[in-house]
Amino acid sequence: MPARTERTFYHYQLLRKIHFNRFILGIYLALAVIGVAAAVWSSSIMGLIYAFLAWTIVIWIHYVIARSIFIMDRYTYKKRWGFQMKLPWIGFLPLPQQYISDRYMRKVNLHTLLIGFVIILILTPWLPISFSLQFVFWHIWLLIPRLYVLIAVLSIPDDKLLKIQPQQCLIYKA
């Protein structure tokens, strides 16, 4: 007699859907353009180089912080987390098909926020002021959508799971 394979199906109740419409994405993208324009205005062509380098290095810093948290917690992130480059989700985030607990997402993002600021603060004495400001700008800009979701989730009392989709975040009851 062949062995039967049992499958487990999880049914989660959708509590809230946070949608980032075109207007919100336009404002978010306009902030990036304003940041680059301010860099070019203050430092001419070097401002553009500073903006690109700061953006790239901040994404790498976010990745290193998140990966360090996963290693310390012995959390298997492979096939669960990856790089995304679709507005508003840019950086190292849970993949669209994955659920992640609200507490773990909050832990990763708050550590990324604080440790990222500490790293930028440590680097500031050796960097030009416009380069340091670009670091701060891109650090905050990349975290705005994540922090918005975390603040919106605080009003829901139950244990929650988050599922990040291309232009929305779904919040489920665990």
**Cα separation of 11 and 111, whole Å?**
30
Q: So what's the pLDDT on residue 133? A: 93
Confidence band for 143, pLDDT divided at 50, 70 and 90: very high
Among the residue ranges 27-31, 33-37, 114-118, 170-174, the one predicted with the least confidence is 170-174
Residue with tokens 């800009």: 141
Over residues 84-95, mean pLDDT: 89
What is the number of alpha carbons within 13 Å of residue 53 lying toward its C-beta? 13
* pLDDT interval class at 160 (50, 70, 90): confident
98-142 pLDDT, tens digit per residue, is: 888 888 889 999 999 999 999 999 999 999 999 999 999 999 999
**Burial grade of 21 (CB within 10 A; 0-12, 13-18, 19 or more):** exposed
